[in-house]
Amino acid sequence: MNEKWWKQSIVYQVYPKSFHDNNHDGIGDLQGIIKKLDYLKDLGIDLIWLSPVYQSPMDDNGYDISDYYKIAPEFGTMEDLDELIEEARKRDIKIMMDLVINHSSDEHEWFIESKRSKNSPKRDWYIWRDPASDGGPPTNWRSVFGGSAWEYDANTNQYYLHVFSRKQPDLNWENKEVRQELAKMVSWWLDKGIGGFRVDAITFIKKSFELGNLQTYAADGLANIQEASLNQPGIHEFLHELREATFANYDIATVAEAPGVQDADLPLYVGENGHFNMLFEFNHVDLDLGPEGKWAEPVNWSLSDLKQIMKKSQEVYNTTGWGALYIENHDHPRSFTKFIRKAEADLRAQKMLAVFYMFMKGTPFIYQGQEIGMVNAHFSSIEDYDDLATIDQYQVAIQDGHTHEEALKAVWRRSRDNSRTPMQWDCSSNAGFTNGNPWLNVNSNYPKVNVENNIKDSESLYHFYKKLINLRKDSHYSESLLWGDYVSILEDHPEVFAYKRVHKSGNLVILCNFTDKETTVELDGTFQEIVLSNYSNSGFSKEHMNLKPYEAVVCLVD
């Protein structure tokens, strides 16, 4: 068995802008993270995924990099980053950097040079095309954040392609110099001794230009760019080359953000000699999305949908690759509203969700604030939002004739700012995030939901997460929880998400009641002993288990 360190790790994602502000300018920073390392160590984490801290005009909060070798001054200096790596190392924590190489910022010197003239030596480093015959964009592709994916440059009378915002021009991966320059940069970071990379939007690097205009039924004539830009034929050569030139030479962890990867492709991505160690899938976090996309009413999914989604990839990981387990990150609203679909947060359900995903096969990722039960923020004015995609979408909704209330309701449900509000540390003003004016408002529930209160209360979500982490890392059941096969069970049970971890050291069953009603579960075998529950008295006999509302149990079975 290949017992790599990162398979046994717990990862914690820090969104630097919102984590902790040390110099009180209202923006989280590297020194702020250093101050909180003991908190993370106590929680039991081994690896920090740091969302981008590179120099950036911050059009997309750092996912638009203008210098890959520099740190954004808002966050600190390269010395601060080195200090963070070193202070973390002292605590046996590694730092995973975010690698954003599908695109750069339009303020990167490469792009400035590329834009200068058609004859620029870097012209081909980005994707430039002549206008269509009517002078409009070369194709009808819609960018992920809305509007045409092509931006016109009057100076050279050509358009450049941007899958994301117009300030995020796509690098041209067809150009060998680009690939070499990126690989050089990646190795430079790895030589620093970082723990690895989370690789941003990497399934977008290959485009199928021959597809031209795509079919559309939308009123604006635009069509989803993903059809021509997501996981396209030919991508594997680029990814293989990148891995061989960089990742393969280091003992690191890589996790790819990889929408569009089909289950059949998983071996190529994360199998033995795959491009990455793990990848983030989207099916479970997007299960409430219908064909009309993320801003439309959520679809009414059933527990059986969720079971099928998880089963598909988990079963692959029994033999190939390794899972990246998550329910929250900086691109999705908080998990409670999505998976529980109730207005009022419920601690029992939050604990149940933790059990639901953390004991599957793979490495668990915890997003900052998830461990203390942070929930979506409902700001009453669009002025209070920051995320470019949110603001664009709000404006589109208003133009389409929706009322402010309707548009705001969609924002409350889907905005990425829901998970980007400042970390809630304590009851003091601005939740102890800053003494200054926070760049994004703190969620008004902070006097109740914060780290300090969580630590004080032994029944809190925070202590429950610690318990789960401990159970996975350092208990009689670690072997089963780490290496056991995932077996989907009780697939027809309408209320309970259930699976088994099968291992020679002991078989565990994980049962999660997704409803606020009591229910019962029977197994083929017998229940031996309760290993963990989010209630103090679980009702079980050898033959069956009574589950209370939102109860989650881990149980030894024969």
- Which chain residues interact with ligand GLC by CB under 6 A? 60, 63, 100, 164, 200-201, 257, 330-331
d(CA 555, CA 540): 10
d(CA 124, CA 260): 26
User: Cβ neighbours of residue 104 under 8 Å, at least 6 residues apart?
Assistant: 64, 65, 66, 68, 110, 111, 168, 169, 171
Count interface residues toward Ca ion (CB under 5 A).
Answer: 5
d(CA 343, CA 526): 37
- Helix (H) / strand (E) containing 11: strand 11-14
d(CA 42, CA 145): 38
d(CA 106, CA 63): 12
Q: Is the dihedral of CA 202, 363, 41, 24 positive or negative?
A: positive
Task: Say whether residue 23 binds Ca ion (CB under 5 A).
Answer: yes
Q: Based on CB atoms, which residue is closest to Ca ion, 21 or 64?
A: 21
Q: Which does 63 bind (CB under 5 to 8 A by kind): Ca ion, ligand GLC, none?
A: ligand GLC
List the structure tokens of 441: 């408002």
Tell me the CA distances in angstroms from 550 to 356, 461, 518, one per residue in order: 11, 14, 8
Q: Based on CB atoms, which residue is closest to ligand GLC, 13 or 480?
A: 13
**Given phi > 0 = left and psi -120 to 50 = alpha, else beta, which region is 109?**
alpha
Tell me the closest approach of the beta carbon of residue 508 to ligand GLC, in angstroms: 33
Residue with tokens 């509302």: 549
Tell me the closest approach of the beta carbon of residue 274 to ligand GLC, in angstroms: 20
Q: Which does 294 bind (CB under 5 to 8 A by kind): ligand GLC, Ca ion, none?
A: none
DSSP string, 122-180: TGGGB-EEPPPTTSS-SS-EEPTTSSBSEEEETTTTEEEE-SS-TTSPBB-TTSHHHHH
Tell me the closest approach of the beta carbon of residue 76 to Ca ion, in angstroms: 8
Tell me the closest approach of the beta carbon of residue 245 to ligand GLC, in angstroms: 22
Q: Which does 27 bind (CB under 5 to 8 A by kind): Ca ion, ligand GLC, none?
A: Ca ion
Q: Which does 141 bind (CB under 5 to 8 A by kind): Ca ion, ligand GLC, none?
A: none
Tell me the closest approach of the beta carbon of residue 203 to ligand GLC, in angstroms: 10
Partners of 66 in the beta sheet?
Answer: none
d(CA 279, CA 199): 9
Tell me the closest approach of the beta carbon of residue 104 to ligand GLC, in angstroms: 10
Q: Based on CB atoms, which residue is closest to Ca ion, 80 or 417?
A: 80
Of 95, 108, 98, the C-alpha closest to 66 is 108
Q: Based on CB atoms, which residue is closest to ligand GLC, 253 or 471?
A: 253
Q: Which does 46 bind (CB under 5 to 8 A by kind): Ca ion, ligand GLC, none?
A: none
* Closest residue to bound ligand GLC by CB: 63
User: Cβ neighbours of residue 22 under 8 Å, at least 6 residues apart?
Assistant: 29, 31, 32, 34, 35
Q: Based on CB atoms, which residue is closest to Ca ion, 22 or 143?
A: 22
Pairing of strands 253-257, 196-199: parallel
- Using CB under 5 A as the binding rule, the residues of this chain from 345 to 384 that contact Ca ion are none
Residue with tokens 């941007």: 162
Tell me the closest approach of the beta carbon of residue 166 to ligand GLC, in angstroms: 12
Q: Based on CB atoms, which residue is closest to ligand GLC, 32 or 62?
A: 62
Q: Alpha helix locations (H) across 166-272?
A: 176-191, 226-229, 235-245, 266-270
Tell me the closest approach of the beta carbon of residue 387 to ligand GLC, in angstroms: 9
Q: Which does 551 bind (CB under 5 to 8 A by kind): Ca ion, ligand GLC, none?
A: none
- Contact pick of 27, 178, 222, 547 for Ca ion (by CB under 5 A): 27
Q: Which does 33 bind (CB under 5 to 8 A by kind): Ca ion, ligand GLC, none?
A: none
- Using CB under 5 A as the binding rule, the residues of this chain from 28 to 87 that contact Ca ion are 29
Stretch that binds Ca ion, among 5-13, 15-23, 230-238, 367-375 (CB under 5 A): 15-23
Q: Which does 426 bind (CB under 5 to 8 A by kind): Ca ion, ligand GLC, none?
A: none
Q: Based on CB atoms, which residue is closest to ligand GLC, 65 or 451?
A: 65
List the structure tokens of 315: 């079963």
> Which residues are catalytic, by number?
200, 257
Tell me the closest approach of the beta carbon of residue 127 to ligand GLC, in angstroms: 16
Q: Based on CB atoms, which residue is closest to ligand GLC, 235 or 469?
A: 235
Q: Based on CB atoms, which residue is closest to ligand GLC, 225 or 355?
A: 225
Q: Which does 164 bind (CB under 5 to 8 A by kind): ligand GLC, Ca ion, none?
A: ligand GLC
Task: Say whether residue 25 binds Ca ion (CB under 5 A).
Answer: yes
Q: Alpha helix locations (H) across 273-387?
A: 303-317, 335-340, 347-358
Buried b (16+ CB within 10 A) or exposed e, 189-209: bbeeebbbbbbbbbbbbbbee
List the structure tokens of 508: 């565990």
- Interface residues with Ca ion (CB under 5 A) are 21, 23, 25, 27, 29
